[in-house]
Structure 1
Amino acid sequence: MRKILAFAGLILVALLAGCSKSEHPQEGKQFERLPTDLSAYQLPVVTEVFSLNCGHCANMESAIPQLEAATNQTFGKVHVIFNQSAQVSAMIYYSAQTQLGTTPSHDLMNAMFNAVQMEGATAQQQKQAINKAFTDQDLSSPDKLTEDQRRTLFAAMQQAAEISQKGQINAVPTFIVNGKYMVLLAGHKDLDGIANTINYLIQQP
């Protein structure tokens, strides 16, 4: 009887250990360490890296409030700059952030996503849509910034380019946590899983 109980106890310990291990996100599957520590940039604890050209990023925008609630964090944003197209859309994003002095609202983000990703629109129609997204929020359109605002915009873009390069960000959307970790969205099945990984990484040194 004692042997049976001891064997049963070992099985229970093994099962508990297995469950405990599976509860924690795994490096290489749900997240990875960034090749360069980005803490010097003083990013918010959780920062979304995205592009206005990215359809998946537009879809993720609607999920940000739920993720913020699940992690008790206010997310920052960095517009990735890894090619010329991303650079152009980054100018649009940072034109808004520069004027606001903070991360644009979800309504403005959605308006910018819709304008940049207009299908079948001419260049003129797209420009009008972008300008309308700004003026509807009582902001100046990107081509009407003051000299000081342009300097702030270019400084923000330079920092975004450095973060993109040093962090080797090659796919968006993603999340940087504590300036050291990047969430691998492909390793998650749902938003709860993403939130769980973010909460886990927040606690890591």
Structure 2
Amino acid sequence: MKKLSSLIITALISITFLAGCSESSHPEEGKQFVRLPADLSNYGLAPVTEVFSLTCGHCRKMEQIIPELEKATNQRIGKVHVTFNESAQISAMIYYAAQIQLKATPDHEMMDELFAAVQMGEGATQAERKQAIDNAFESRGLISPYYLGEEMQQALFKQLDLAQDVSVKAKINSVPTFIVSGKYMILTQGHSDVESFARTINYLVEQ
């Protein structure tokens, strides 16, 4: 009987321990994510949206991970380009010139080309940067941001206003970051790899 009692107690302890591990495996608010200071769910954002800038080196590196992240979460990740300063505003115009014509987030190949064009080294001339941007658009049958008509310009300015509004209301002060369901912001520093990042996204999408 003593042996049986001992086995039952051991089993109960093991079950309790496993349950505790299971609970702690869920992403935690304040560690893996935080709630946004304002609800952005009515802004028409994709369920998972990356807030980024073409001028940001970390964002360029993140772009290489996006396909893997999309596969792991079964989500097409949308984008919002920040307008922190003058250089970010100019880059946002380039990005939104593509988005409004495609009526979608540019694919990863085009994003790579836009990052490369905007982040050319100091030795590159303005003419070389412009040519690289022109090539990224015209090779896809799109109009370069340098030659947009008035109607497209107005649509672009609306997107800039929306991006500014999102950034301010969400209190975005660094990029890249990710907004989920217009309610949560993922803390990138709270994740060690793509798998854990995807796990947090999946968890928040279901909330």
Mark yes or no: TM-score above 0.5. yes
1:140-164: CA deviations, max 9, x gaps? Answer: 1111001110000000010000000
Is the deviation greater in 34-43 or in 59-68? Answer: 59-68
Match of 2:130 among 127, 130, 139: 127
Residue identity opposite 2:41 in structure 1: S
Q: TM-score, length-normalised on structure 1?
A: 0.94
Paired residue for 2:117?
Answer: 115
Residue identity opposite 2:72 in structure 1: A
Query: Displacement, 1:114?
Result: 0.2
Identity among equivalent pairs (%):
56
Residue identity opposite 1:62 in structure 2: Q
Query: Displacement, 1:10?
Result: 3.9
Alignment of 1:147-186 (within 5 A): 147-186=150-189
Query: Displacement, 1:4?
Result: 2.4
Match of 1:54 among 40, 53, 56: 56
RMSD (Å), alpha carbons: 1.3
Match of 1:35 among 29, 34, 37: 37
1:54-104: CA deviations, max 9, x gaps? Answer: 111111112111111111111111111222221111011001111111111
Match of 1:94 among 93, 96, 105: 96
Residue identity opposite 2:17 in structure 1: L
Is the deviation greater in 2-11 or in 170-179? Answer: 2-11
Paired residue for 1:199?
Answer: 202
The list of structure 1 runs, each at least 4 consecutive aligned residues, that deviate by more than 6 angstroms after superposition, is none
Q: What SS does the corresponding residue of 1:47 show, helix, strand or coil?
A: strand
Residue identity opposite 2:54 in structure 1: L
Structure 2: segments with no counterpart, 5+ residues: none
Query: Displacement, 1:166?
Result: 0.3
Q: What SS does the corresponding residue of 1:4 show, helix, strand or coil?
A: helix
Residue identity opposite 1:7 in structure 2: I
Residue identity opposite 1:29 in structure 2: K
Paired residue for 2:106?
Answer: 104
Alignment of 1:57-72 (within 5 A): 57-72=59-74
Query: Displacement, 1:189?
Result: 0.7
Alignment of 1:132-143 (within 5 A): 132-143=135-146
Distance in 2 (alpha carbons) for counterparts of 1:119 and 1:143: 21
Q: What SS does the corresponding residue of 1:195 show, helix, strand or coil?
A: helix
Q: What SS does the corresponding residue of 2:50 show, helix, strand or coil?
A: strand
Instruction: Tell me the number of residue pairs that the alignment of Structure 1 and Structure 2 aligns.
Output: 204
Q: What SS does the corresponding residue of 1:39 show, helix, strand or coil?
A: coil
